[in-house]
Structures are given as structure tokens and as C-alpha cells.
Amino acid sequence: MIERYLEDFTVGQIFGSGRIVVEKEDIKAFAAKFDPQPFHLDEAAAHDTIFGGLAASGWHTAAMTMRLLVDSEIKPAGGIVGAGFDEFRWPRPVRPGDELRLESEVLDVRPSQSRPHQGLIKMRTTTLNQVDQPVQVMIANLVVLRRPGSSASAIQGRG
Amino acid sequence: MIERYLEDFTVGQIFGSGRIVVEKEDIKAFAAKFDPQPFHLDEAAAHDTIFGGLAASGWHTAAMTMRLLVDSEIKPAGGIVGAGFDEFRWPRPVRPGDELRLESEVLDVRPSQSRPHQGLIKMRTTTLNQVDQPVQVMIANLVVLRRPGSSASAIQGRG
């Protein structure tokens, strides 16, 4: 496993991911624990709701996305640690049987002014279903450790 | 259970919630499935990370927040359905034994121009720990059904 320091990320870099098939029973189990609403729990009850059928909780989609990120080749040194989000939305529902994968693009890389041993990368991660439709779009600011001994100017020069 | 239509929400309205105690084993179980990183899985491994000790996955905090929202008195007609977020961040970690509760405030209420039977409310939900420190802040845009027979002007007049 390669761990990437801040200096190893560049704007425009793209990462893929593995895939997760979303099982109906997993949708219901997640919902029963964290989001017990009819459209996430039961096919018949879901039919007459805004979703028109069973759909995964958005938080389940977010959690599966995190699993794909952790298992991907992104591997920031110090872990995947979110400082906040510039954008976060679910353009369409995730249905039973959908197969999800990620496309992540680095949008910005910058050293911290106040914490010389770390920096931030801004990354857009789009979660796509098996017909390449986005089901989640998030732009996250991630805290990433700097390579020991590096200087701020070394990064800014790569801009 | 009272269901609230768009017409029942007003700017400045505040909702509380029940409470959830975050058990150490729940932190580890959620992380094992969705966010298997050392600082969410193991006390010893977490010690030398950015969190300085075991912390819940942010997605676990988000999922517990959703459970508190669903169980609260907010009860929008048609369910709690997020269209997107204006803000979403985790100001500090959630630790084993923390007790979480919510404070939600309605920031905006508006009928949809294109879909006369529904509208949007903007709501800030702050997840607080047992010493009233925010651990998650989100501003969500929620799709809410309009009361059957109501008109757009009836809402706009409540401003």
C-alpha cells in the first residue's frame, strides 16, 4: 500500500474505485437502524412515495461511498479525514441491485498556513450507478499530512 | 403523530430531538462495515492519529443524526427527503460515551415554482454532545409536500 502525502497529490489527478452491489436487504437493514422511513424499508409502502419504489437512504449511499474511498488507491497519509464539504447532494435514488463505483478528481492542493505539518486537498467524488448516472456528488476538503521535511514553497511551485 | 405540510413550517421554528448514547462497540461496528480506518476501529491504533483516540466515523454521526431527525417532532408530510446541502461539516469528533441530541431551526420556506404540490424548506440541524458542543452542522434543503388545496400565494404571504 502506497501512502500519499500532500506533495503526492496534484490538481487534475483522478482516482477510480472498486464496486459495491447494493442488496435489497442491506438497504432495509441500514434504514431500520438509521433512517426508518417507508420508502427505505418496504417495497409496497415505497410505491406511493416521492421515490416511487424502494430506495437506499442517502446516508447509506454516503456510507457505501466512504467504504469505496477507503478501499481505493487514494490512501492519504494519516487517513481520509474530512474537514467539511463545499457540495453534497444526491441527484437520484439508489435502487436495490444497483452497482456503485466512484470517480474522484483532485480540484485543489494547498499547504496549511497555521499547521506546517499538514495541508488540505479539495476532491470531488462522484458516486455512479451501473449505467454511469451520478447518485451522489460531494466536494470534500480533506486534511492530508505533509511529507516530513518538505516546505510550503515546494508545493506551491507545483500549482 | 402530526404530519406537517409546507404550510405548517415557518422561518424561525425550532425543533429538538431525543438523545442517543454512542457506544464504543457501535463506533467500531459501523467503521468495520463502512469506514475501516484505525482511528475508528481500535483505541490503541487511534492514539497516534489526528484524532488522538477512538472517534466515530463522521458518516456514523450523520446516520445517528438522521435517526434522531426521523424520531423527532419535525415529521414533514411525505417524509424527510434531502434535496441537497448548503453546509455540512464536523467541527469536532464524537467519542465513545458521548450523548447526542439535535437542535433544528427552519431558515427558509418556499413553494416550488415548477411542482405546485411541493416546496422546499431550508433547515439547519446542529448535532450537539452532552456538553453542548456541536459535533455536526448541516444546512439541508428538504422537499416537503404542500397541503392539498393550498396556493402559492398563501405561503408567500406568511413570509
pLDDT value at position A157? 42
Q: Is there a contact between B66 and A35 if contact means CB atoms under 8 Å apart?
A: yes
ipTM of the predicted structure? 0.92
pLDDT value at position A88? 96
Q: Using CA atoms, how far apart are residues A55 and B124, in angstroms rounded to an integer?
A: 24
Q: Using CA atoms, how far apart are residues B29 and A153, in angstroms rounded to an integer?
A: 42
CATH architecture of B6-154: Roll (3.10)
> How confident is the model over B11-64, as pLDDT tens digits?
999 999 999 999 999 999 999 999 999 999 999 999 989 999 999 999 999 999
Pairwise pLDDT comparison (B157 vs B64), residue with the higher score: B64
Pairwise pLDDT comparison (A50 vs B155), residue with the higher score: A50
> Residue B35 is nearest to which of A34, A37, A70, comparing CB atoms?
A70
Asked whether residue B121 carries a pLDDT value surpassing 60, the answer given is yes
Partnered with residue A108 across adjacent β-strands are A122
Confidence of residue B152 (pLDDT cuts 50, 70, 90): low
H or E segment and range at residue A145: strand A134-145
pLDDT value at position B150? 73
Residue B155, φ and ψ in degrees, nearest 5 = -80, -45
Considering only CA atoms, give the Rg of chain B. 18
| Closest chain B CA to residue A118 | B50
The ranges of chain A with pLDDT < 50 are 156-159
| Closest chain B CA to residue A62 | B59
Q: Is there a contact between B62 and A62 if contact means CB atoms under 8 Å apart?
A: yes
Place of cell 467503521: B31
Neighbour-count burial for B81-100, b at 16+ CB within 10 Å, e otherwise: bbebbeebbbeebbbbebeb
Pairwise pLDDT comparison (B97 vs B149), residue with the higher score: B97
Asked whether residue B156 carries a pLDDT value surpassing 80, the answer given is no
Asked whether residue B113 carries a pLDDT value surpassing 80, the answer given is yes
> Residue A79 is nearest to which of B39, B64, B89, comparing CB atoms?
B39
Q: At a CB cut-off of 8 Å and minimum separation 6, what does A153 contact?
A: none
Residue among A117, A124, A137 nearest A14 (CA) = A124
pLDDT value at position B32? 98
CA distance A107 to chain B (A): 19
Global confidence as pTM:
0.93
Asked whether residue B123 carries a pLDDT value surpassing 80, the answer given is yes
